[in-house]
Structure 1
Amino acid sequence: MAKLLFGKRSNGGLDLRRHGFDFLPTTRFAGWMKDGKLRSSNSSIGVMRWFRMRDTLNLPRLLGVRAKQPWQDEEIDGDAWLRQRYSDDLVDFLDAFSNFAISLRFNQMPASTVVRLLQNAFWLDRPSVPKGGCKGAIVALRKELRQLGVRVRLSHEVTEIIPGHSDESTKNHRFAVGLRRRGRPAATWEGYDAIVWNGGHPNLLSALSDDFEVDEAVLKQVKRTTAVGGIGFVFALDDDIPQRHSGVTMLTETERVGGYVLPTFSEPELAPEGKHMMVTHQYVPSSDIQSEINKGRDDLFEAIPWLSDHGEELCVHAYHRNWPCNRSPQGAELPADIGVDGVRLVGDGVKAHGWMMIEGIAANIPAVVNDINSMTRSAK
């Protein structure tokens, strides 16, 4: 992801530091709250000291397992595979990280997916906080797009995608895309020769007209894939909190919440002076979203001994049922190519095998860009 965002433009990067955006390293590698006591470490090797010597000695075996591709005929899930080889404490810690990062527990993913996730996470650079938060990245990307002459229309939605020859105004293009401004009844048609879609497979399949033939295997794969739900709390904290680092802190004694992070120790601009921000995350195993929120809140106040004295809940956000942010689960292996020339998918719904979070989103982008360039050249 860093190569994509900050790399030289001559090498396919966006060089977003030109727009003031950057990654700020966390002040600690990771933390662990257990029995009301906080541990923290400045390296992955330091984290391993919290667990049995056997776990450390077996770590090279985990890193050396061949898992760059899904294993054939997989029947065992990641949780069972790991517990056969490592201590419960270590597996609980890593499972909490997965819960925090991707709203999934190890028992919800195939073993090869979990193994590859852990391998990639181990070899990645130090965790970071985006300068200015997520908004900092969005602002920088919009500046870059505007410099390239691209129109960014966040107030519009796609109603339908049909062949370009279906409408007189788009007959010289491969696609006619119906765009409707929110709050208005009618859509207008615009012509395009290629589509890069980040709204998830179900929404794309709904928008494509029957004129396009989608690979039958892809249709079946999407139908049996359930979107991932998640819940996150945001707390305002005073400056008297005992924890003073921005590494993700794992919670292993909770029912729902995987962990929390205090990003303001890396990026103070995310909170008013004298305040800090805490962000939490948890998976959603049931459809009763209000009950899940309540369980998560109870988890936090029970697991973090200082929260009731120093924290104030600001908001809670949740996504579930549909694919509002197109989060397909790791292990679904949904393809970027659905069999329609000129259409490719990117985003959180098309993560490459064994990648997660922003690294997962970025993993297939170079291949998609190459495909689109090739298709647009051949169409001319």
Structure 2
Amino acid sequence: MRVLVIGSGLGGLLSAAWLSRAGHEVDVFERLPITGGRFTNIDYKGFKLSTGALHMIPHGPAGPLGTLLKDVGANVKIVRADPMAMIRVPKEQNSADYTHGFHDITFHDFRKLFSPLNRIKLAILITTTRILPPKNGSMAQWCSRNLKGDWALRIADSFCGWALSLKAEDVPATEVFEIIENMYRYSGSGIPVGGCKAVIDALTDVIISNGGKIHISTEVTHITIENKKAVGIVADGKEYHGRIVISDIGHLETSRLYDVNALAIDAERYLASIRTLRPSAGVKICLSSNEPLIGHAGVLLTPYARRVNGINEVTNIDPSLAPSGKHLTMAHQCVQWEKLGKLQEEIDLGLTDLSEIFAGREYEVLLVQSYSGEWPVNRSSSGTDLTNRTPIEGLYIVGDGAKGKGGIEVDGIALGVRNAMNDILNSGKESID
């Protein structure tokens, strides 16, 4: 069958690679002059900076993205980060910031910060919650109900801010515990050698080698629907016909490409739900240094910073992402929806955090990147993702607007793509499981 893919972000290319490898005729349409969207590299002062993601795959080679890349035949080397994560805490236990010094503990040792009684309580809570996750409420509410003191909320905010670009109060507790379950299932993060672009280039090679086509600088302006079924698209004024249309631009943006009057009468609930979706927003600050600033390739969570949620330093695994003798360090912070109108203030607070976290160290701020609106961190904030299906037969959504349950960032995208591919291919009695 012929498949038309709108957008060449990670979700679109994963879908195109799988379907082209399965023998289907695939065309990918990208309005930008490059492929990869928010998951590729840009060259800047000799550094390979990412357009969005932090050159990191949350669950490494054994996670949803790592295994899907293997399934489609994409040649990508992913090196597991060790340690998985560290947590930077103040030396003075009652301190609320890093101004009086700090030390790092492993992610698995954060329980040591609790009293002996709370350690026992936390172990019981984590075990029982894995078996019976909370039915409602945010992660912040779960922390307030079950644990005393502000440490648990700080670590939840730091983790959610780093992994999801959300505060703990904005993430359902069920989603966080599904993510934790996936951490037990797949383990920790890994770095793709060559950065995000290495993944994109490998997927592009798979698509083209299997006869697929990628049309860059080509904008899709309309999805053609006949009898409530997607039958094609219009790109740069030219009509293309296909049996399946896959969109990598999210539910809301996709809905703007077709006539909603062509939908079934009962699709009003779907249209109402996509109008309420809120993209998550964030800021990334890229640093250059001559010496390592954190000294490992795992995540450094910073729960006592004003805004920065976490930091990674990928050149400890892949030196090619920076000029010879240099290191690339990237800090990420979520931006709450009500703060978007004061974005420069949020950036300034993040820069102040870094000046304290790396006090006495020499570094240069290379670039500050912000992600919101039509270029967000995630088109659907985690915990609010809709399914990959739409009310239109033959039209599917993939990417960060339709992640799989419990999926962090690009691994969530891979989970969503696998769900969509199974849905599509099951009709032809094929499965990617």
Q: Please confirm whether the aligned pair reaches a TM-score higher than 0.5, indicating the same fold.
A: yes
Give 1:376 shift.
6.7
- Equivalent residue, structure 2, for 1:358: 410
Tell me the amino acid that sits aligned with residue 82 of structure 2.
T
The TM-score with structure 2 as length reference comes to 0.74
Deviation string, structure 1 residues 174-208 (Cα, Å, up to 9, x no partner) = 5230112xxxxxx2111111012111111100012
1:8 Cα deviation after fit = 8.8
- Check the 8 A contact 2:281/2:376 in 1, yes or no: no
One-letter amino acid of the counterpart of residue 363, structure 1:
L
Q: Provide closer, same or farther for how the CA distance between residues 229 and 282 of structure 1 changes in structure 2, counting only shifts above 3 A.
A: same
Change over 3 Å in CA distance of 1:93–1:3 after alignment to 2: closer
User: Shift in Å at residue 350 of structure 1?
Assistant: 1.0
| Cα drift, residue 154 of structure 1 | 2.8
For 1:347, the equivalent position in structure 2 comes to 399
Q: Pick from 57, 67, 80: which aligns with 1:25?
A: 80
Secondary structure of 1:226 counterpart: coil
Structure 2, unpaired ranges of 5+? 1-58, 91-100
Corresponding residue for residue 33 of structure 2: none
Gaps of 5+ in 1: 166-172, 181-186
Cα displacement (A) at 1:325: 5.8
Aligned pairs (5 A) from 1:265-276: 265-276=316-327
Counterpart of 1:354 in 2: which secondary structure?
coil
In structure 1, distance between residues paired with 2:428 and 2:300:
46
Q: What secondary structure sits across from 2:284 in the alignment? A: strand
Distance in 1, matches of 2:191 and 2:368, equals 20
For residues 132 and 206 of structure 2, the distance between their equivalents in structure 1, rounded to whole angstroms, comes to 33
For residue 327 of structure 1, the aligned residue among 379, 397, 420 is: 379
From 9, 13, 17, give the equivalent of 2:71. 13
Q: Tell me, what secondary structure is at the counterpart of 1:34? A: strand
Q: How is 1:84-123 mapped onto 2 (pairs within 5 angstroms)? A: 84-86=145-147, 88-123=150-185
Deviation string for 1:334-360 (max 9, x for gaps)?
121121110111111112232221221
For residue 79 of structure 1, the aligned residue among 140, 143, 148 is 140
| Contact 2:68 2:414 (C-alpha < 8 Å) held by counterparts | no
* 2:296 aligned partner: 245
2:356 aligns with 302
Identity of aligned residues (%): 24
Q: Which has the higher contact order (CA 8 A, sep 6+)?
A: 2
Alpha-carbon spacing, 1:361–1:210, altered in 2? closer, same or farther (3 Å): same
- Describe the superposition over 1:122-143 as per-residue Cα deviations: whole angstroms up to 9, x where unpaired: 4431311111110111111111
Q: How far has the Cα of 1:26 moved from its partner?
A: 1.1
1:221 match: 273
1:144 aligned counterpart, secondary structure = helix
CA deviations 1:205-235 (Å, max 9, x no partner) are 0012235316222211111221111110111
Alpha-carbon distance in structure 1 between the residues aligned to 2:63 and 2:209: 20
Structure-2 separation of matches of 1:289 and 1:96: 19
Distance 1:88 1:132, change over 3 A: same
Classify the secondary structure of the residue corresponding to 2:169: helix
**1:137-161 C-alpha deviation (Å, 9 max, x unpaired):** 1111111111111112232121011
Number of equivalences: 353
* SS class of match (2:392): coil
Asked whether the 8 Å contact 2:64–2:415 carries over to 1, the reply is no
Contact map agreement 1:228 1:320 (CA 8 A) in 2? yes
Asked if 1 retains the 8 angstrom alpha-carbon contact of 2:165 and 2:377, the reply is no
SS at match of 1:328: coil
In 2, Cα distance between the equivalents of 1:219 and 1:67? 34
- Matching of residues 21-170 of structure 1 within 5 Å: 21-35=76-90, 36-41=101-106, 45-57=108-120, 58-65=122-129, 71=135, 74=136, 76-86=137-147, 88-163=150-225
**TM-score, length-scaled by structure 1:** 0.84
**Aligned-pair CA distance for 1:328:** 0.8
Q: Which moved more, 1:205-214 or 1:24-33?
A: 205-214
SS in 1 for 2:249: coil
Report if the CA contact (8 A) 1:28-1:40 is conserved: no
Letter in 2 for 1:27: D
Contact kept in structure 2, 1:6 and 1:15, CA below 8 Å: no
State the one-letter code of the partner of 1:143: D
Q: 1:170 matched to which residue of 2? A: none
Match of 2:306 in 1: 255
Contact 1:67–1:113 (Cα < 8 Å) also in 2: no
Aligned mates of 1:175, 1:338 — CA distance in 2: 14
Give the letter aligned to residue 344 of structure 1: Y
Amino acid in structure 2 at the alignment position of 1:190:
Y
Q: Deviations over 1:285-327 (max 9, x none)?
A: 2122222222221222123324xx3210111111213355652
2:231 maps to amino acid: F
Q: Secondary structure at the match of 1:120?
A: helix
Tell me if the contact between 1:67 and 1:112 (Cα under 8 Å) persists in the aligned partners. no
For 1:278, which of 307, 318, 329 is the aligned residue? 329
CA RMSD, 1 decimal? 2.8
User: How far off its partner does 1:33 sit?
Assistant: 2.0
Q: CA 1:333–1:69 in 2, change beyond 3 Å: closer, same or farther?
A: farther
Q: What is the rounded CA distance, in whole Å, between the counterparts of 2:134 and 2:244 in structure 1? A: 30
Report the equivalent of 2:10. none
Supply the distance in 1 between the matched residues of 2:63 and 2:84 (Cα, whole angstroms).
21
Alpha-carbon distance in 1 for matches of 2:376, 2:304:
30
The 2-side partners of 1:111 and 1:294 are apart by 30
